[in-house]
Structure 1
């Protein structure tokens, strides 16, 4: 028996596959992995000192790549221990605390890696022709990628992995969602809400017993 039902008109009645907002789980690095990542920089050359200082800004402060390469000498207040972020995704400026390890890394690069004859006010500059020009984000992305490879993490990429890891570290230390949003400079706390899914300790405290399991 053959059926010749016309089903094309029923297609509109089939619901779309749900696309839940904030469904993805941000990938992060553990504290031990972050330490391994940072230790992969030998800091024996000017370029390695520069790249190490830049990635510390990513791993310690949760800065975006564009924010790191745009840091100027005048943005560093060594007396107050602060860093001014002038250009951000929201076009607003911020003054943030400069952690001691990050400050040391930047200072080491300025003293021992950055040429004294450099006229650019950008902190991070090119070392080869055309020398002394501000770096683009491509160099920072490459520095991060190369470090992943040195660590044997060929399946990882991107600088946002370090930014996500800052959020994980803050949440595990007991910071509120609002505090994490302030550190990452999110305009809306809704953007930060996705990180609640990686705070496994807090989730375990509110999780209900699985049906049929022993409570």
Structure 2
């Protein structure tokens, strides 16, 4: 059973969507997640995956071949994203404009974050949560250490256990050139490792939110010069 606040299992669309994505991942990766928890609010839908790693991937991780796991998953997800968007449209009637994903390979977790064109028929997000100013300040400081201060930072609580942070305008010139030369996957892997290290090492998020940080996920849309961070929290 999911933790209270992560998802509402009485919602048939959430249950159907979780089952659909779990089945799709199992068919594509050979092993699906043991837990697939869907949260919907405002223009956002998140899918939190628990205990998601195939036996082959486990062997590669033991051999310190994490980059190979990330690269293989990126190739598979490139093919799956259109199917995931279609499934969400079919189940909810809402079209996704953007879909981000990331993995917590150290604890076999994962997260997908979708942003819709129209709002879902779901509760609104909380844009005035406690600790918001401190969270923005810390995210901006970490962004500056890794690349540059975002042109714009937005955040909201999707529910008591899911915090979404969106950064616009964070790429520097050398990153844009690497993208132009075709090094997108390598750049995402490097940026992910660097920024996650800063995010996980910060003690400001837990003190500002008065919650424990269980997982942190982040992804980029290089075309939009946009990044999404998802914090999974425990009250």
TM (norm. structure 2) is 0.25
From the two aligned structures, give the one with the greater strand fraction.
2
Larger Rg: 1
* More RCO (CA 8 Å, sep 6+): 1
**Which of the two has greater helix per residue?**
1
TM-score by length of 1: 0.27
